[in-house]
Structure 1
Amino acid sequence: MCTLSFSKDVLLFVRCFLITLWIALGFAASAEEPLAGLQLGSGQDLTIVMLHGDEGNGGDPLAYAAFGAEIARRLPMATVHMLLRPGYKDPWGRESPGNNYGRRDQYTLQSAALIAENLKRLKADTPLIAIGHSGGAAQLALAMSLENNLAEEAILVGCACDLELWKSMNPDWPKGTITRSVSAVTRPSPVIEHITLLVGDNDKTTPPVLSESYAWHLTTHGVSVDLQIVPGGDHRGNRALSSAWLAAVLNASQRLLTR
């Protein structure tokens, strides 16, 4: 269940186990509509929304809940919402509306619109940090192109934000692998205070050049961007990537809480 490798000792292992039990039993975490998910923490000063990756191998999309809980622990002034992306469900019956097309070719404008509506719903009167990993980053980038100021800060980790480039790097993919999806680099740039792009230098799934392409797109349109290529980082969230990811969340929260 807990796949991110930021745990360093037995204490964190026990915390990971307890969070797994917490999610399975469904208490101390509330389901959300219209996108389902988990709420961790109840701070009133900051809202954090997290979107998982594609989990194309059939894995649990909330398997990284221990990471969300660590963010909530570090930031007690925040409320962390871990959303199930459109069409996804978890092993305990939570399910979001929409279609993920079997977890393939799913970065559609329809799903992006659902995500945008949820960002508006959760934002309320607090600053919001939106976080997406892998396909969640691609959908988040697309959602932010639909409407201005959906978040104050965004953190996109291992983003497949340039789909044509991605296809060209994978010539063995079956014909028609990506037909419904819309690439963020073809859309208007978001109006947002700052975007952090994180990608591991050893990411074989969404290599750094994809994040570099989107960073160039954003920069040329005047968006404040920090591109970080993480030494030793992979795609799924090994210690190098997850440490940089956590640092990016803490830095973004510091900027928003002290401005």
Structure 2
Amino acid sequence: MKKSLLSWLFALGLFSGAAPALAAGCAVQDFEHFVSAGDECLVMARFGATDAPRTLVVWLHGDVSSGGPAVYHYAAAKEAAARFSAEGVLSVALVRPGYEDDEGRHSSGTNNGRRDHYTRANMQAVGAAITQLKDHFKPQRVVIVGHSGGAATAANLMGMMPGLSDADLLVACPCDLVSWRAGRKAWTQSENPMRWTDPIKPPVQVVAITGGSDDNTSPDLARHYVEALQAHGVNARFEVVPGASHNAAFRSPMVSDALSSLLQPDPSGSRH
């Protein structure tokens, strides 16, 4: 009886290499729709080179406070994979903890009603997912592109997990939560990127871009963050998209151009 049961399990592939990859956070981690994130499981979409990609570009969406699926960054990820196909780019759009895509897939964890959710647990989950992607695809270089809350996540991770990325592109970043929430209820559970600047050192490269007409995350939030990084010798720069709103900045050609500049290592520094 025991032998028959084992034979049946082998036939199903549960004790062989034919079984799907299992991970602590995901029942099935396929690196196509799902990636393990520590104790969580995040939804993902991938575009471009999957066979020995030169650069892994990870895209993180904003808070989508108006509700609905968090998939607006999929188009940007797909476009980047096409534009930079010759550079061997693999674009992966992650769906942050507690959010869902438009096909019924849900990232585990909580987004706390889409507010005050840049928590240490959520930062660690996203960082763990990116680590899984790095270990699986083995890129030569990693660039994280974040918009709004996704930019805050990327900025936090630079300080919390040094070496996770080689470069970061922060669009419409609320990079100082104290200033950002001034006059409103403070986000006391969230990690503040400005408080994680000290561990960030060269050779990581950073570009921050904010719309000149952004009435959500004012340009000064990212500008002051970049100045703090520059004080540590980090190759960081700040750019303004003239006349652009909070969401329009993410669609600006300046984002794609900045990404192009980050696909190559900083010639003044060595890889870590």
Length-normalised TM-score, structure 1: 0.80
From 209, 225, 232, the counterpart of 1:221: 232
Corresponding position of 1:161: 175
Instruction: Give, in whole Å, the separation in 1 of the partners of 2:176 and 2:146.
Output: 15
| Equivalent position of 1:182 in the other structure | 191
Who is 1:56 aligned against?
65
Contact 1:52 1:62 in 2 (8 A): yes
1:152 and 2:166 are equivalent in the alignment = yes
Q: Which AA in structure 1 matches 2:174?
A: A
Consecutive unaligned residues in structure 1, runs of 5 or more: 1-28
Aligned to 2:223: 212
**Contact 1:109/1:143 (<8 A) preserved:** no
Q: Find out whether 1:79 has 2:79 as its counterpart.
A: no
Over residues 182-209 of structure 1, what are the superposed CA-to-partner deviations in whole Å (9 max), with x where a residue is unaligned? 2111123424520111111111110101
Partner of 1:204, secondary structure, is coil
Shift of 1:252: 1.2
Matches within 5 A, 1:61-140: 61-76=70-85, 77-124=88-135, 125-126=138-139, 127-140=141-154
Q: More deviation in 198-207 or 139-148? A: 139-148
Residue pair 1:123, 1:151 contacting (<8 A) in 2 also: no
Equivalent of residue 195 in structure 1, options 206, 209, 217: 206
The CA distance in 1 between the partners of 2:172 and 2:224, in whole Å, is: 12
Q: Is the 8 A contact 1:189 1:223 kept in 2?
A: no
| 3-state SS, counterpart of residue 145 of structure 2 | strand
For residues 46 and 208 of structure 1, the distance between their equivalents in structure 2, rounded to whole angstroms, comes to: 29
Aligned to 1:142: 156
The letter of the residue matching 1:36 is V
The amino acid that maps onto 2:143 is I
Give secondary structure in 1 for the equivalent of 2:35.
coil
Partner of 2:253: 243
Find the counterpart in structure 1 of residue 245 from structure 2. 234
Amino acid at match of 1:230: V
- Structure 1 consecutive aligned stretches of length 4 or more whose deviation exceeds 6 Å: none
- Alpha-carbon contact 1:37-1:94 (below 8 Å) kept: no
Distance 2:129 2:249 in 1: 29
What 5-or-longer segments of structure 2 have no aligned partner? 1-30, 37-41
Whether the 8 Å CA contact 2:210–2:249 is kept in 1: the answer is no
1:61 Cα offset (Å): 1.0
Aligned pair in 2 of structure 1 residues 238, 116: CA closer, same or farther (>3 Å)?
closer
Query: What TM-score does the superposition give when structure 2 sets the normalisation length?
Result: 0.77
* Whole-angstrom CA distance in 1 between matches of 2:96 and 2:200: 20
Q: 2-side partners of 1:58 and 1:202: how far apart?
A: 23
Q: Judging changes above 3 Å, is the alpha-carbon distance between structure 1 residues 193 and 177 closer, same or farther for their aligned structure 2 residues?
A: closer
* Matched residue SS, 1:103: coil
Amino-acid identity (%): 30
Task: Output the CA distance in 2 between the equivalents of 1:129 and 1:233.
Answer: 24
Of the structure 1 ranges 39-48 and 159-168, higher mean CA displacement relative to structure 2 is found in 39-48
Report the Cα offset of residue 49 of structure 1. 0.3
The aligned length equals 224
Does residue 36 (structure 1) correspond to residue 43 (structure 2)? The answer is yes
Give the AA of the match of 2:84.
L
CA RMSD between the two structures:
2.1
Instruction: Report if aligned partners of 1:109, 1:142 keep a CA contact under 8 Å in 2.
Output: no
